[in-house]
Homo-oligomer: A and B are copies of this chain.
Amino acid sequence: MALRTLGAKAAAALDQELMSSGAFSLDQLMELAGLSVSQALFKLQPPSRGNRILIAVGPGNNGGDGLVAARHLWHYGYKPTVYYPKRPKNELYQRLTTQLQDLNVPFTSDFHSSLSQTDYIIDSIFGFSFSGEVREPFPSVISALATTKIPVLAVDAPSSWNIETGPPDQGPGKEYNPDALISLTAPKPLVKWFEGKHFVGGRFLTKDMAEKYQLDVPPYEGIDQVVEVPVR
């Protein structure tokens, strides 16, 4: 049976609660989220099957998760390349970027030509706080994600999808349905329209919080920070 879902407003409230009364720092949560993403990618594509990973990083926290994932992937033996065209002056994101630069992880400004040299893509452009329109330079990136034959793992949401209502009626995301999705903390309602492999990550939810937000704690195994779960 599928896990219960967490709407956009509830996801924002849960995040806020984790960082206020839950006493987590954003650094800590992002580290655990990015670690989950890296472990999902490892399950989907062990480095021996092709280790070039292109990570599309958006301007917010979803992008931050991608930056953390890129670092862990490097340590696992992958060759990550990061596409990070919009970089807000945010201290945490800047630090995560420095950590990658210190590993000599390459940053590309040309997503489209990097596509031809990659084995797997991570879409960490937009997450649960996305709504409205996809702004430049992301429309053509999402078009490429929708049409490429290289597999894509989306973080929390296929970018440009509405959190509640799934794929947009028009625009580049209309035909986008990635190969894999990792839902952080809990699946969002958009999983109803998703057709690939589904993971949940973010192994820090307390039983009290799960009850309050009417969520399931997924059946993680061993030391895993991710678990594959049915979409429906």
Binding site for B on A (CB under 8 A): 22-25, 27-28, 31-32, 35, 38-39, 42, 71-72, 75-76, 92, 94-96, 98-99, 102-103, 203-204, 206-209, 220, 222-223
Contacts and interface: CB of A to CB of B under 8 A. Distances in A.
Contact of A223 (B24, B76, B99, B209): B76
Contact of A208 (B25, B38, B102, B203): B102
Contacts of A72: 203, 223
A39 B223 contact: yes
Contact of A24 (B25, B99, B208, B222): B99
The binding surface of chain A is classed by DSSP as helix
A14 to B, nearest CB: 13
26 contacts: A23-B95, A23-B96, A23-B98, A23-B102, A24-B99, A25-B25, A25-B27, A25-B92, A27-B27, A27-B31, A28-B28, A31-B31, A31-B32, A35-B35, A39-B223, A42-B222, A72-B203, A72-B223, A75-B203, A75-B220, A76-B222, A76-B223, A102-B206, A102-B209, A103-B206, A103-B207
